Amino acid sequence: MNQHTRFNLPICLAVEEDAFFRSDEIIKRYIPEIIGQKTLIISEEFLIGIYQEKIGEISRDFGGAEIYAMDGASFDEAVAIAKKVCVEDIKVIIGIGGGRVLDTAKYAAHISKAVYICMPTSLSNDSLASPFAVLETYGKARKTLDCKIPTAIIVDTNMIVNAPQEQTLSGIGDTIAKHTALFDWKLAAEKGSERIDDFAYALSRMSYDSVYHCNQQDMKSRVFIRILSRALVMGGLAMEIAGSSRPCSGSEHLFAHAIEEHYTDIKITHGLAVAMGSIPACIFQGQDPSGLVSFFRTHGLKTDPMAYGIDEEMFADIWEKARTVRPGRITILDQVPTDRVQLSEIYKRMREEA
């Protein structure tokens, strides 16, 4: 296979102030052939209410596109949307929303082979440009499904500045987690279970560096939002190039998956869970976590487990479950034995330092 056909890249990545008011002009610059094609806008009821004006204008700009309020981020919903797209000869899907909407729209576009335009209303994780969609399969059980990345990504910095702060913090957490993820990826490669793709590695490292070493620390500034948007997109593209989530997901993600799958009552976003997991992961890896700790503190990102109702016993159990939540995925957890004394020390330290 030709080297260059192994992966796809989006044709358009626009990160601009008020971009949602000019989305048709932006698309016209990059992919003029899709203007005038039958388009479906996918969002959620409450977002359609909040952003009535913007979504209404986007609909008009795309030839009176139908606005579809999706029911839930499930496999069945994505398939139902894909069916509608195929039956009604719709050629373009625009997803407007957070992770749930974007994953559902991305998968619906993947199945129906429609062009997919991704328009995030918040930056909570790196799934916006990733080749995966996390959807509910049976009941609340979720699965990560392979899919095509978006053709166009349009980020409206004004929109993100006004999104709930917790969403942006979550996006920061998912970016900073790449530090421990990349360590684990290298480790897995040394064990012969993975192959490092240097370009994907560099891209993910740069994504992390751009946020970690950013001089602008005001999360509400447009400069920071632009940097974070690009960092999250680059993380997604690193996964596309590597053909796996390894450049962005290591033992800190196993910790988050263990919460998501075994402690469904804990209310914590994905990005905040991986941020919390990255501190112990760093320690297991023999790295000094103090840089991460002070970064999180500077940004007001809470990593005290108790802030999310995680007591010491649960904390230890989550790490135990993290070992088995993705069998075959080699990380530092395969190298370090369970040490309840060490976990207890880490827990106390995280409570004190947060």
User: Is residue 27 classed as helix, strand or coil in its secondary structure?
Assistant: helix
Residue with the two structure tokens 């690193």: 238
Q: How far is the CB of 231 from Zn ion (least distance, A)?
A: 12
Q: How far is the CB of 118 from Zn ion (least distance, A)?
A: 16
Strands 132-136 and 142-146: antiparallel
- Segment near Zn ion (CB under 5 A), from 72-80, 88-96, 116-124, 166-174? 166-174
d(CA 263, CA 296): 24
Answer yes or no whether residue 194 interacts with Zn ion by CB under 5 A.
no
Site string for Zn ion, 315-334 (x = CB under 5 A): --------------------
Closer residue to Zn ion, CB minimum distance, 103 or 174: 174
Closer residue to Zn ion, CB minimum distance, 144 or 335: 144
Closer residue to Zn ion, CB minimum distance, 156 or 174: 174
Closer residue to Zn ion, CB minimum distance, 174 or 194: 174
Q: How far is the CB of 204 from Zn ion (least distance, A)?
A: 11
Q: How far is the CB of 5 from Zn ion (least distance, A)?
A: 27
- Segment near Zn ion (CB under 5 A), from 13-21, 144-152, 173-181, 197-205? 173-181
Site string for Zn ion, 72-111 (x = CB under 5 A): ----------------------------------------
Q: How far is the CB of 49 from Zn ion (least distance, A)?
A: 28
Answer yes or no whether residue 184 interacts with Zn ion by CB under 5 A.
no
Q: How far is the CB of 249 from Zn ion (least distance, A)?
A: 6
Answer yes or no whether residue 174 interacts with Zn ion by CB under 5 A.
yes
d(CA 348, CA 352): 6
Q: How far is the CB of 322 from Zn ion (least distance, A)?
A: 14
**Which of the 8 DSSP states describes residue 10?**
-
**DSSP readout, 247-301?**
GG-SHHHHHHHHHHHH-TTS---HHHHHHHHHHHHHHHTT--THHHHHHHHHHT-
Contacts of 260 (CB under 8 A, 6+ apart): 142, 270, 273
**Which of the 8 DSSP states describes residue 74?**
B
User: Is residue 188 classed as helix, strand or coil in its secondary structure?
Assistant: helix
User: Is residue 4 classed as helix, strand or coil in its secondary structure?
Assistant: helix
Residue nearest Zn ion by beta-carbon distance: 174
d(CA 316, CA 310): 10
Q: How far is the CB of 9 from Zn ion (least distance, A)?
A: 20
Q: How far is the CB of 253 from Zn ion (least distance, A)?
A: 6
Task: Supply 36's token pair.
Answer: 């005038």
- Segment near Zn ion (CB under 5 A), from 12-20, 148-156, 170-178, 179-187? 170-178
Beta carbons of 347 and 208 less than 8 angstroms apart: no
- Segment near Zn ion (CB under 5 A), from 27-35, 36-44, 169-177, 275-283? 169-177
- Segment near Zn ion (CB under 5 A), from 48-56, 116-124, 172-180, 341-349? 172-180
Burial 272-304 (b: 16+ CB within 10 A, else e): bbbbbbbbbbbbbbeeebeebbebbeebebbbe
Binding-site size, Zn ion (CB under 5 A): 1
Closer residue to Zn ion, CB minimum distance, 43 or 269: 269
- Segment near Zn ion (CB under 5 A), from 27-35, 47-55, 69-77, 174-182? 174-182
Residue with the two structure tokens 């993975």: 194
Beta carbons of 272 and 173 less than 8 angstroms apart: yes
**Interface residue list for Zn ion (CB under 5 A):** 174
